[in-house]
């Protein structure tokens, strides 16, 4: 039985409250502290989802969601308590993108600590750490659980970032007397966990009765703490934990991953009302940093806080499987669009609406309004992602790119709308902590001796971006024939068309793919075009065969003088799509056009 509280929160900020543990804590604590107000700060990184928070909580007047990075100082207002979950904890990010994990788990955390220090009115700050900071434990039966003062020996990059965070906690405690209590959490399972983690991944395998992939020997032991027990432990730490102390929160119940698969298969079969089939295993090489065991002592929490886990593993797994088998809606990003009223911006809005992704059109215009005003609005928009589609491609009296080639007076407009706006927005997003996507162009390329028709295509170059996705589109085509800037609505009216293969960006395909990559917070440069270049003449030929037999353009072949002149101009090129097909496959241009034109006829 937990001890009577010595501290009672009134206004609480929960960082990372849309993630796995954070959202379960929000759902638990909203009722456990019935007079408390809550602000949930989350930038929806990868496994986070606003719908992880129960609808009853989302509708509560005591709950407010603020979608921003913890670096945003404006989010810390009128609070007395912080429960800090926000962290990058996945193996993919921490092991393969270590610098980005350091940015989120260490550098942003330091800025957050400094914001709390300057705010000066926080009475209790609970910092969530991990048992992984202790490193590996022995598999022997007489192994003693690690206690709070045990030596820290991190065996993976995630644990290293958490140790760095704890080091700054100690520094701020000592230097500024910040009222921080640290909780080192055991291996936790429960609803809302990301499907790259073993329990939700095994549940999906169990549903399909597939093969369970077992890394290495499969004998790695893990303690299994149900998330509601973890939430109760954090409540106890907040109410009764001694300032500047550390508390292990965990369980002594252990099971290896092979036995975990058996339990999950049995529970899934039971809840689906079907005969049980024993699991089938497939051994794969062990992943790096896969420690054998994390075994901690929870004696301090039991003695000082009166806390001990109370949910049996079977009951916790029953709740977890039942949650996973339910259909549910997901909201994993909120988007701000700059340039959303243009042709591509309008097509992007159609995609976001169809996917039910919340978005807002920014009112401030980069290059027109003062940079400080743009940044101020951006910090308060309550978004997690920004898309810049502000590029200038036409102007008064000229509906083509030739508008920008009209003389020296167009240089300022060109630089402002096509370079400065995109660059300054990228810097602002980096500063505030937002994922940034720039919809650029492949028009800087043209067929040449190194890249002839049918030869090598233009590839992406450079290092991956830091949550900054730069997509190159060419000849954007939609299915809206009422849109005057749509490539398709133009070319079906032409009497002659060049029969030169070029890369196309078929917007319904490519904008959906871009949204998928944004949800994954992908960075770097990407040629966002449908694979397999196709000529505009062939596009209209397919349209004629499926949609309207009346269109009948004449092809201008590649061997003609006019075609040779065209080859020397920008925009007539083939962009390489190997990278795109590797990370987010899309249909070839021809396959996509056939599919969409048939859908047009069906409507």
Known catalytic residues are 131-132, 158
Structure tokens at 298: 């929870």
Q: How many residues does the chain have?
A: 603
- Taking the C-alpha atoms of residue 379 and residue 366, their distance in angstroms, rounded to an integer, is 14
Could you tell me which residues come within 8 angstroms of residue 258 by beta carbon, excluding any fewer than 6 positions away? Answer: 212, 214, 218, 219, 281
Nearest by Cα to 30 from 2, 54, 3 = 54
**Phi, psi of 385, rounded to the nearest 5 degrees:** -135, 145
Nearest by Cα to 348 from 530, 593, 512 = 512
Q: Read off the DSSP letter of residue 156.
A: S
Q: Read off the DSSP letter of residue 559.
A: T
- Taking the C-alpha atoms of residue 148 and residue 160, their distance in angstroms, rounded to an integer, is 17
Structure tokens at 214: 């077992």
Nearest by Cα to 376 from 61, 73, 148, 1 = 73
Structure tokens at 447: 């067929």
- Taking the C-alpha atoms of residue 125 and residue 260, their distance in angstroms, rounded to an integer, is 35
Nearest by Cα to 486 from 494, 477, 495 = 477
- Taking the C-alpha atoms of residue 284 and residue 504, their distance in angstroms, rounded to an integer, is 40
- Alpha-carbon torsion 281, 284, 290, 292, what sign? positive
> SS3 sequence, 250-318?
CCCCEEEHHHHHHHHHHHHHHHCCCCCCCCEEEEECCCCCCCCECCECCHHHHHHHCCCCCCCHHHHHH
Stretch (H or E) spanning 14:
strand 11-15
Structure tokens at 173: 């405690």
Structure tokens at 105: 């788990």
């Amino acid at each position: 039985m937990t001890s009577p509280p010595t501290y009672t929160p009134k206004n609480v900020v929960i960082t990372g409250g849309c993630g796995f543990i954070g959202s379960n804590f929000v759902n638990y604590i909203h009722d456990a502290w019935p007079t408390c107000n809550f602000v949930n700060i989350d930038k929806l990184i990868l496994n986070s989802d606003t719908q992880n928070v129960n609808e009853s909580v989302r509708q509560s007047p005591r709950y407010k969601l603020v979608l921003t990075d913890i670096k945003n100082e404006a989010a810390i207002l009128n609070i007395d308590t912080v429960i800090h979950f926000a962290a990058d904890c996945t193996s993919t990010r921490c092991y393969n993108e270590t610098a980005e994990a350091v940015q989120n788990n260490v550098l942003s955390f330091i800025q957050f600590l400094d914001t709390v220090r300057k705010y000066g009115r926080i009475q209790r700050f609970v910092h969530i750490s991990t048992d992984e900071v202790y490193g590996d434990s022995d598999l022997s039966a007489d192994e003693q659980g690690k206690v709070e003062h045990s030596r820290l020996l991190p065996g993976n990059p995630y644990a290293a970032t958490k140790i760095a965070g704890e080091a700054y906690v100690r520094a701020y405690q000592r230097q500024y007397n910040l009222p921080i209590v640290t909780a080192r959490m055991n291996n936790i399972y429960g609803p809302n966990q990301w499907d790259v983690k073993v329990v939700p991944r095994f549940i999906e395998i169990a549903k399909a009765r597939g093969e369970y992939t077992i890394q290495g020997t499969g004998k790695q032991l893990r303690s299994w703490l149900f998330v509601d027990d973890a939430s109760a432990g954090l409540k106890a730490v907040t109410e009764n934990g001694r300032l500047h102390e550390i508390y292990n929160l965990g369980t002594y119940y252990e099971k290896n991953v092979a036995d975990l698969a058996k339990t999950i298969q049995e529970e899934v079969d039971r809840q689906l009302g079907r005969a049980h089939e024993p699991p089938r295993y497939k051994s794969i090489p062990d992943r790096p940093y896969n420690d054998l065991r994390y075994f901690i002592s929870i004696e301090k929490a039991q003695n000082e806080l009166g806390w001990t886990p109370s949910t049996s593993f079977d009951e916790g797994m029953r709740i977890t499987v039942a949650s996973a088998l339910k259909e549910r809606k997901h909201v994993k990003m909120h988007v701000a669009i700059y340039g959303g009223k243009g042709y591509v911006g309008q097509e992007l809005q159609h995609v976001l609406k169809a996917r039910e992704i919340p978005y807002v059109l920014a009112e401030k215009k980069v290059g027109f309004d003062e940079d400080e005003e743009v940044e101020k609005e951006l910090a308060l928009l309550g978004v997690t992602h920004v898309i810049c589609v502000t590029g200038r491609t036409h102007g008064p009296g000229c509906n083509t790119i030739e508008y920008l080639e009209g003389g020296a007076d167009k240089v300022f407009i060109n630089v402002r709308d096509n370079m400065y706006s995109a660059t300054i927005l990228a810097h602002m997003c980096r500063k505030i902590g937002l994922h940034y996507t720039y919809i650029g162009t492949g028009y800087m390329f043209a067929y040449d001796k190194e890249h002839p028709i049918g030869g090598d295509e233009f590839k992406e170059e450079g290092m991956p971006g830091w949550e900054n996705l730069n997509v190159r589109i060419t000849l954007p085509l939609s299915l809206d024939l009422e849109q005057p800037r749509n490539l398709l609505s133009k070319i079906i009216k032409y009497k002659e068309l060049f029969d030169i293969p070029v890369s196309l960006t078929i917007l319904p395909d490519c904008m959906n793919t871009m949204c998928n990559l944004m949800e994954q917070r992908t960075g770097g440069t990407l040629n966002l075009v449908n694979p397999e270049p196709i000529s505009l003449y062939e596009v209209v030929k397919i349209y004629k065969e499926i949609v309207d037999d009346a269109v009948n353009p004449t092809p201008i072949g590649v061997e003609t003088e006019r075609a040779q002149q065209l080859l020397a101009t920008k925009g007539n090129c083939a962009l390489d799509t190997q990278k795109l097909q590797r990370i987010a496959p899309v249909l070839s241009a021809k396959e996509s056009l056939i599919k969409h034109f048939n859908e047009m006829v069906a409507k």
